[in-house]
Amino acid sequence: MTDIGILLIKIVLALVWFLVLTLYLTWAERKESAVIQDRIGANRASIFGIRILGLFQPFADAIKMIFKEDFVPVFSRKFLHTLAPFLSFFFVAITIAAIPFGDDIRIAGKTISLQIFDANIGLLFVLAMLSLGIYGIILSGWASNNRFALLGSIRGAAQLISYEVALGLSLVGLIMVYPSLRLSEIVRAQGSLLLGFFPAWGVFLQPLGFIIFLFAALAETKRVPFDLPEGESEIIGFFAEYGGLKWGLFMMTDFMEIIIVSALLTTLFFGGWQVPWLSTAGFEFPWGWKWHLGPWLVTALEVAAFNIKVFIFCWLQILIRWTYPRLRYDQLMDLGWKLLVPLSLLNILGTAIVMSL
Amino acid sequence: MMILLFFVLSVICVGSVLGMIISKNQAYSALFLVLAFSCLGGLFGMLGAPFMAVVQIIIYAGAIMVLFIFVIMMINLRKGISPERKKWTLAVSAVISVVLLAELVFAVLGTPPMPYTAAFSSGTSPTDIGRLLFTKYLYPFEITSVLIIAALVGAIVLVKKREKE
């Protein structure tokens, strides 16, 4: 019984973390874009006259979205039109289950892993759920019965299918280096040291794989410079016929994808919750210093390290989104099929050669 | 708990396959098929074969069916098959389905019964499957991949020819 209780607590905590971070990412995006464009950004939302840099803005946005009219066009296929945003939200939200937040903790003789679903196929589970997220896009465009929406969803499906190939292939080299698909094991393997002092993070062992994964994952989030399914300035995109809360779900899906991509980049290439030279007993620096820390402090440091890494990648993705212009459709396909896929195949070959030496 | 989940998944699976056959609209048929594949994935997972479950979902539900639906939505067929072709397609499909059914029945009768737990209890991790594929089943595996590549090249050749005319 306690196992189910612990599981429920973990699920609730992970979802709360995910949704709160999503809400504040909308605020961070508005502020960061404002700084880039020399504006002030959202700063008016207040509670009793207190407005700390507009930190209450996400809640105001959420309340506005909830109370908007729930509009379903008469010409749409109503059931699928309603189902689509929930599908795309669900398949992103469920991926958080496979992400490890920290090392195992011990409470009253029980070992609890800070991860909801620790399967031996964790990495494939995340990829599977992200690939099912395409159905949200396809169904929303098709069920809307609107030409622009259908165009957007067809572009989206083509783009996501193309970049999924590069996304999967770029990870093969990483799986060869840390021979496991279990995300917790991949993170543990990154805790070892290269040459006795250098953290064995994925980015140092698989630099090419990291770059390919970064580009492919950026394309999977469907934001500028890869925002062809949306194309704000030309076709509005697959959610053209949505409003209110359902449109809000699509927007939240976007931001949640940013977070999941950041979490994956952190977990696979930047050591997950690992802090360099921090083991369960405390810091052990390669030059001989030791700094003993209690187990709770170590866990807190690890979770904080995971969060900081995720924040840095979220910030990087927002920076990219507000810096680069959109790719043309042929450039998009060329980048995916003619550059990223051959490079990732080369990466697999190179990794295999180096490992067999 | 598990038996309940099994019945829910298998009822949805069989129901969606029926829906796929009965549905007039090709897009709905394809969507029903996606649902059936996802339920199959769930059933594999319940049998203790998570790798099979995830591969089922990634390849069938996530990639192949997306392309199917993509094509169906692009072409947007409304009419279906013309009445004069309908007669002989009906006959051919009846014959094929009877043959397939017979094959299926013989295959099921031919397999020795296996207890529920023993079916997938050993060798279901990605490592085990990979090892089997590259040792015991190396030739079938390589031949299948050559077959798939041949099919891909064939499809490209067919499309190219039409362009020249």
CA of A73 to nearest chain B CA: how many angstroms apart? 19
Q: CA geometry: angle at A111 spanning A108 and A116, to 5°? A: 125
User: Measured between CB atoms, which of B70, B74, B126 is closest to A181?
Assistant: B126
A-B Cβ pairs (cutoff 8 Å, strict): 63
Q: B62: part of which helix (H) or strand (E)?
A: none
Residue A320 confidence (pLDDT): 92
What SS3 state is found at A141? Answer: helix
Residue A6 confidence (pLDDT): 87
CB distance A48 to A42 below 8 Å = no
User: In this structure, what token pair is assigned to residue B164?
Assistant: 């020249």
Residue A170: CB partners within 8 Å, gap ≥ 6?
A: A209, A212, A213, A216, A340, A344, A347
Mean pLDDT for chain A overall = 88
Does B152 contact chain A (CB < 8 Å)? no
Q: Which CATH code of 1.10.246.90, 1.20.120.1200, 3.40.50.300, 3.30.1310.10 fits the domain covering B1-78?
A: 1.20.120.1200
Dist. CA A156–CA A230, nearest whole Å: 8
Does B69 contact chain A (CB < 8 Å)? yes
Does B63 contact chain A (CB < 8 Å)? yes
Mean pLDDT value of segment A157-183: 89
Mean pLDDT value of segment A121-134: 90
Q: What is the ipTM of this complex?
A: 0.83
Dist. CA A94–CA A116, nearest whole Å: 10
pLDDT digits (tens, 9 = 90+) for A239-277: 888 888 899 999 999 999 999 999 999 999 998 888 888
Asked which of A55-69, A105-119, B56-70 is least confident by mean pLDDT, the reply is: A105-119
pLDDT digits (tens, 9 = 90+) for B33-75: 999 999 999 988 888 788 888 988 998 988 888 888 888 877 7
Residue A13 confidence (pLDDT): 92
Indicate the domain borders of chain B.
1-78, 79-109, 124-165
pTM for the whole structure: 0.89
